[in-house]
Amino acid sequence: MSILGIYFGPKVVDVVETKGRKLLNHIQIPTSGIAGGDFEEKVPLEVKIVALFNEVLRRNKIESKEAVLSLSGKDLIMRTFEMPNLPKEEMPSAVNFEAKKYIPFKVEELISGYQSLADKRSRINTVLFAGIKKEILNKYSSILNQLNIKTKHIEYCGFSIIRALNLSGAKEAGIIGLLCVDFAQDDEVNFVVLENGFPLFNRDISLSLGAAEGAENSETQVSASLDKLKTEMRVSLDYYQRKFPGKSIQKMYILSNPEQQPQVEAFMADFGITAKFIDFARIIGKPVVYSAGFVKSYSSALEGAIPTKIKINLLETRARALKPAAIAGGQQLDTWALFKEIRIDYRIIILGILICVSVFGYGVYQSAPFKLKLKDVISKRITVDKVDNTQGLSELEGINLAYKNKLEKLDTLIRKQLYLTETLDVIPRYIPEGVWLINFTLNNKDRERVELNLEGRAYLKDSDKEFAAVNKFIEALKQDLVFTKYFTDINIVSINQQEEDRVTVTSFSLSCKNYKEGR
């Protein structure tokens, strides 16, 4: 039975039909033919999309009734973070709480799932969190339902290409990088770092050029795209090394157009990383024109033939969330039917009541002398003002503990105050032009471990300048003697680009601590 792999890219939808590992069909549908523009505009275009898909599938004689969707990083939220080892029942709520740091909207708006990998030596869990907005998932599900195609799985395209790595025979052991790039199709670049097949880090890089650059010839466009990729990779590798300082990338596997392989290999050598290219045409056994969309759609179609270590299935998560509401009525009927089968024997009930009364009465009889003695001891207690002499040992210990806590809090307020007026006054002096802060939080519940979190945006119409401005801001804080007197550990928590009011800005989050994180 054949299966479809569908990759919804920024400008092209790639559809691949496979049977096992064998390629049967590959078609490309420009999204301009569907929406007359950006496919991700929130406009109800399902009818037009379904009609066009129906026509393309009919024309190419594709009759597959199952599909795996590979979605762009713009549609999904993928984050990897570390957490201490927790009991299994506490993990879901702890993961959701941690994920809120990386999500610019409510977690309740997502269908989400996670997968954890435990390190027994450090007792730390590496957690892979995946989420998709309910409205986006419903949109794609509605399209395939109207095409009478069952959606088997939805996955992030950066993880789809792991199957291409496995298909090439490359070993997943150790820490390796995987880069899928296409300068011709204007598709996003996917950069993934794996530790023994489990994702540690992922990033999506857009190589789209501005209007002025886009008007130049194709060779100049490739050169400009390559320069932009170098800059973005330098930022990504720098951030990865700060986040995982003890986990250096040993080798980088690259999927790209053969014509650009020497150039990509050269700049990877500048980073001190050995690059190894995957010949995609060779691993599928036939000559093909390279495109990143084809790699992702073909790799997603191999979901059943080539397993990976990533087990998150957002469709199953949604089904589990809907199941209780859907079966609630039927479950009540089944429970009532179960009780109707019970036959009551009143003699057994009366005998049980008599046994319970006898046991209770005997206990009262045995405890009566003890209660009288206890009452006598309590009546002889010394009277203490504001303390009830009828209270037991545990209650008196509770009163004593409450007084101790009050004294400790008063001592903390008097001796361990944290004055931040002078420190916070430093921050606005170093904010470069085009950078602004939108939020800050101070966590000082533990006086010995104080953390100041700063969130901000940068807009200079150039991502390189925006990243440079953010780095300039951080370096200025690190050099200031007043600020570093309180906060000795200043790091980037996250830095990425996002769209706000149809303008792409750089979003960043900084963590300033008075202590060093230890593993």
Residues 371 and 474 in one domain: no
Question: Does pTM top 0.75 for this prediction?
Answer: no
List Cβ neighbours of 484 (8 Å cut-off, separation of 6 or more): 477, 478, 490
Residues 393 and 368 in one domain: yes
Domain annotation covers residue 143:
yes
- Are 126 and 243 in contact by the 8 Å Cβ rule? The answer is no
Domain annotation covers residue 283:
no
Residues 459 and 495 in one domain: yes
Counting runs of H as helices and runs of E as strands, what totals does the chain give?
16, 17
Domain annotation covers residue 185:
yes
Q: What is the CATH classification number for the domain harbouring 14?
A: 3.30.420.380
Residue 508 pLDDT: 94
Residue 223 pLDDT: 81
Domain annotation covers residue 282:
no
Q: What is the CATH classification number for the domain harbouring 465?
A: 3.30.980.50
Q: How far is CA 209 from the centre of its chain?
A: 28
> What are the angstrom distances between the C-alpha of 231 and each of 118, 206, 463?
33, 12, 10
Structure tokens at 310: 């990533």
How far is the C-alpha of 422 from the C-alpha of 485, rounded, in Å? 11
Domain annotation covers residue 285:
no
Structure tokens at 327: 């079966």
Q: How many domains does the chain have?
A: 4
Residues 50 and 143 in one domain: yes
Q: Please provide the size of the chain in residues.
A: 519
Residues 77 and 145 in one domain: yes
Residues 243 and 308 in one domain: no
DSSP string, 346-375: HHHHHHHHHHHHHHHHHHHHHHHHHHHHHH
Residues 16 and 124 in one domain: yes
Residues 203 and 258 in one domain: yes
Residues 332 and 237 in one domain: no
Domain annotation covers residue 407:
yes
Residues 152 and 19 in one domain: yes
Residue 355 pLDDT: 92
Residues 315 and 255 in one domain: no
Domain annotation covers residue 326:
yes
Per-residue pLDDT of the chain (519 residues; tens, 9 = 90+): 789 999 988 788 889 999 888 888 888 888 765 554 444 444 456 777 788 888 888 888 888 889 999 998 888 888 888 888 888 888 888 888 888 887 777 777 888 888 888 887 888 888 898 888 888 888 888 888 888 888 888 889 889 999 888 888 888 788 999 999 888 777 889 999 998 889 999 999 888 765 444 445 567 777 888 888 889 989 999 999 988 888 888 889 998 888 888 888 888 888 888 888 888 888 888 888 888 889 999 999 998 888 888 888 888 877 777 765 544 444 444 555 545 556 677 788 898 899 999 888 888 888 888 888 888 877 777 776 666 666 777 887 888 888 888 888 777 666 655 567 888 888 999 999 999 999 989 887 776 788 899 999 999 989 899 999 999 999 999 999 888 888 889 999 999 998 888 889 999 999 999 887 753
Domain annotation covers residue 306:
yes
Residue 505 pLDDT: 93
Residues 153 and 21 in one domain: yes
Q: What is the CATH classification number for the domain harbouring 271?
A: 3.30.420.40
Torsion of the alpha carbons at 452, 455, 460 and 462, rounded to the nearest 10: 100
How far is the C-alpha of 105 from the C-alpha of 356, rounded, in Å? 57
Structural domain boundaries enclosing 473: 421-513
